[in-house]
Chains A and B, each alone.
Chain A
Amino acid sequence: MTFSPELEARFEKFLTKYPPERKRSAMIPMLIYAQDEVGSMTDELIAEVAKRVGVTPLQVNEVLTYYSMLHRKPMGKYHVQVCTNISCLLVGGEELWRNACKKLGIGHKEVTADGQVSLEEVECMGACSWAPAVQVNYDFYHDVTPEQLDKLIDGLAAGKTPAEIHGVERVNP
């Protein structure tokens, strides 16, 4: 299986981070970075990572089913994650989640027909003091209002990039 040169370079770096006889430590980091490029945990990807860290594909599969960010089927190009855990719940996280589902006509871990947007109701993402919080792929959005989430979802569903959608900006550098 071939990966982009950037991902190959990253893999090489991962495999040198740990003692040589402990390559298995690189498995989960390799899987999550590979998922960003490949889209999901395909059989081919599992076999390739298994080979590189010196375990069987079954062992990789056994591990990856434990982790909520590793998906066996592809999510959307933009994976919109809405936190409804306690701090977000208190200030409207659940309304955000329900509105998002209604607007897109999809539910938890589902993808729009064109593959553009997917939704996930997630647990605390470490933004509790700036709740309610949303993540799109790896970017954080704080103090999100229902209007802002509408705007974000409409824009993404219409094929815009997050940067092209105004009035709702990611907060992380």
Chain B
Amino acid sequence: MLYNEPSPLEVKILTRRFGLPNSQSIDTYLATDGYKAFEKAIGMSQDDIINEVKASGLRGRGGAGFPTGMKWSFVPRNSPKPKYIMVNADESEPGTCKDRLLMEYDPHQLIEGILIAGLAVGSQQGYIYIRGEYRYLIEVMDRAIDEAYARGYLGDNILGRGVRFHLATHSGAGAYECGEESALLESFEGKRGNPRIRPPFPAVAGAYQCPTVLNNVETYCAIPPIILQGGAYFAGLGTPKNGGTRLFCLSGHINKPGVYELPMGFNLMRMINEVGGGMKGGKKLKAVIPGGSSCPVLKADECDLAMDFDTLAAAKSMLGSGGVVVMDEDTCMVKALLRIMRFYAHESCGWCIPCREGTTWLRKLLTRFHEGMGQASDIVLIGDLGKNMLGRTFCPLGDAAALPTISIVEKFRDEFEAHLNGEPCPYENRSRLVAA
């Protein structure tokens, strides 16, 4: 069962098997070009594979948008240590629900992408770190891995071609921070998910201090189409330096929320109006979080832009993880920020003080403010706390909390001021967002 109707505007590359009968099974996969890219890659050199990925313009789908081919080229070739392929399936950025579908409907595409990454860097072992809440997907992936072993696509001598690769799932146990790459690796090793200082980066010293390729689920899923149809083809689907398609997760006050695969650079207003069916109840658009709760928000009049990494960066926001959260005119932005801050304060691992204290004090200040007990000076204080956290925390979770704060205080100052009359939230009676 698909969770939402597809849109005719979609360009289905990574999601093309979604909705096929038994799309999880290896037989369906093999009948639809499955594992052909892997077979092709066996005949390619490591450099050829990496160059093809570079040519595709693929950038990491986990949030930061780092060029994938370049990341792979950082793995040392002559290291005597084993090398690992690590899959980030921790998917916990609020607003993001796409890796779930990629695993649920097409687990073999992910396995094939991992296998090709293994060939590219000379790794023989991979792990998929799946958030603990996605238990059913651990089962889906385990079954697919078993099938791949049974059919000779995993093991000591894959397809009799002398390739060795082993793959296993690994369950998390509830922690947003474990999606951050270095915290993920700590957690994988059976420790608290505290971040590591970098450099060294995972490409040099990752799992067990060995060279490790660490990418998001969707990033790996893009690899088979890139190898099969060529990097240039994939690059051509998107905008310059922003190759391919991406799964956008539309949520909030729109008529047709859902996950849709669209070309990189697709216009955000068209995404809301044409793909997402427009604003619910004919309400006016107020703001959009363009790529998960960590991103600076866009005001309605800033939303006529191309959704790619560079355009969003130029607009002082981020494309992030693909979670597009749409908010209508009745939304209380103070309340929205408060909820986001409750999340970051809860998820801050406590390792560094600016993040632990910054998120906690922001949560307290925003709670008080939203309840009508704020003072005018608090508005400045909230913004300053955000600015002082930005760039000063051990890992980017602090930035993730600071960026929405700074942008909401700057862009929606009037809404903060409207909370200064000693009464509870002025949106309370108009909106679905009532006081906490």
A residues apposed to B, CB below 8 Å: 17, 19, 22, 24-29, 31-33, 53, 55, 62-64, 66-70, 84-87, 89-92, 94-95, 123-131, 135, 138-140, 142, 171-173
Q: What separation, in Å, do the CA atoms of A129 and B7 have in the docked complex?
A: 14
Closest to B100 in A: A126
Interface segment, B91-99, B227-235, B353-361? B91-99
Between A and B, 9 residue pairs with Cβ closer than 8 Å are A67-B132, A85-B343, A86-B95, A90-B252, A124-B94, A129-B259, A138-B133, A142-B3, A172-B136
Known: A90-B336, A124-B92. 9 other contacts (CB 8 A): A25-B189, A26-B190, A28-B173, A67-B174, A89-B339, A92-B432, A129-B4, A138-B133, A171-B1
Tell me the smallest distance from the CB of B433 to a CB of chain A, in Å. 7
Q: What separation, in Å, do the CA atoms of A87 and B339 have in the docked complex?
A: 10
- Whether A63 touches B343, Cβ cut-off 8 Å, given contacts A32-B132, A123-B92, A124-B96, is no
Any A CB within 8 A of the CB of B46? no
Any A CB within 8 A of the CB of B250? yes
Is the CB–CB distance between A126 and B339 below 8 Å?
Answer: no
Is the CB–CB distance between A25 and B188 below 8 Å?
Answer: yes
Closest to B258 in A: A129
Closest to A87 in B: B251
Of the residues B100, B331, B343, contact of A90 by C-beta under 8 Å: B331
Any A CB within 8 A of the CB of B170? yes
- Whether A126 touches B92, Cβ cut-off 8 Å, given contacts A24-B189, A86-B293, is yes
Is the CB–CB distance between A66 and B4 below 8 Å?
Answer: no
Is the CB–CB distance between A85 and B132 below 8 Å?
Answer: no
Q: What separation, in Å, do the CA atoms of A17 and B20 have in the docked complex?
A: 32
B residues apposed to A, CB below 8 Å: 1, 3-4, 82, 91-97, 99-100, 104, 127, 131-136, 140, 168, 170-176, 187-193, 208, 249-253, 257-259, 289, 293, 323, 325, 327, 331, 335-336, 339-340, 343, 346-347, 349, 432-434, 436
Is the CB–CB distance between A90 and B432 below 8 Å?
Answer: yes
Q: What separation, in Å, do the CA atoms of A29 and B129 have in the docked complex?
A: 10
Of the residues A17, A62, A69, A139, contact of B136 by C-beta under 8 Å: A139
Is the CB–CB distance between A90 and B347 below 8 Å?
Answer: no
Q: What separation, in Å, do the CA atoms of A78 and B339 have in the docked complex?
A: 26
Is the CB–CB distance between A123 and B249 below 8 Å?
Answer: no
CB neighbours (8 Å) of A62 from chain B are: 192
Q: What separation, in Å, do the CA atoms of A132 and B349 have in the docked complex?
A: 27
Q: What separation, in Å, do the CA atoms of A138 and B132 have in the docked complex?
A: 9
Most chain A CB atoms below 10 A, which of B249, B336, B340, B436: B249
Of the residues B325, B327, B434, contact of A128 by C-beta under 8 Å: B325
Q: What separation, in Å, do the CA atoms of A31 and B188 have in the docked complex?
A: 13
Tell me the smallest distance from the CB of A157 to a CB of chain B, in Å. 23
Tell me the smallest distance from the CB of B225 to a CB of chain A, in Å. 23
CB neighbours (8 Å) of A67 from chain B are: 132, 172-175, 193
CB neighbours (8 Å) of B289 from chain A are: 86
CB neighbours (8 Å) of A131 from chain B are: 251, 257
Q: What separation, in Å, do the CA atoms of A66 and B4 have in the docked complex?
A: 35
Closest to B191 in A: A63
Is the CB–CB distance between A69 and B173 below 8 Å?
Answer: yes
CB neighbours (8 Å) of B433 from chain A are: 89-90, 94
Tell me the smallest distance from the CB of A40 to a CB of chain B, in Å. 13
Is the CB–CB distance between A85 and B140 below 8 Å?
Answer: no
Is the CB–CB distance between A29 and B171 below 8 Å?
Answer: yes
Is the CB–CB distance between B189 and A123 below 8 Å?
Answer: no
Is the CB–CB distance between B171 and A32 below 8 Å?
Answer: yes
CB neighbours (8 Å) of B176 from chain A are: 123
CB neighbours (8 Å) of A90 from chain B are: 251-253, 325, 327, 331, 336, 432-433
Is the CB–CB distance between B189 and A22 below 8 Å?
Answer: yes
Closest to B327 in A: A90
Q: What separation, in Å, do the CA atoms of A138 and B1 have in the docked complex?
A: 18
Of the residues A22, A64, A127, contact of B97 by C-beta under 8 Å: A127
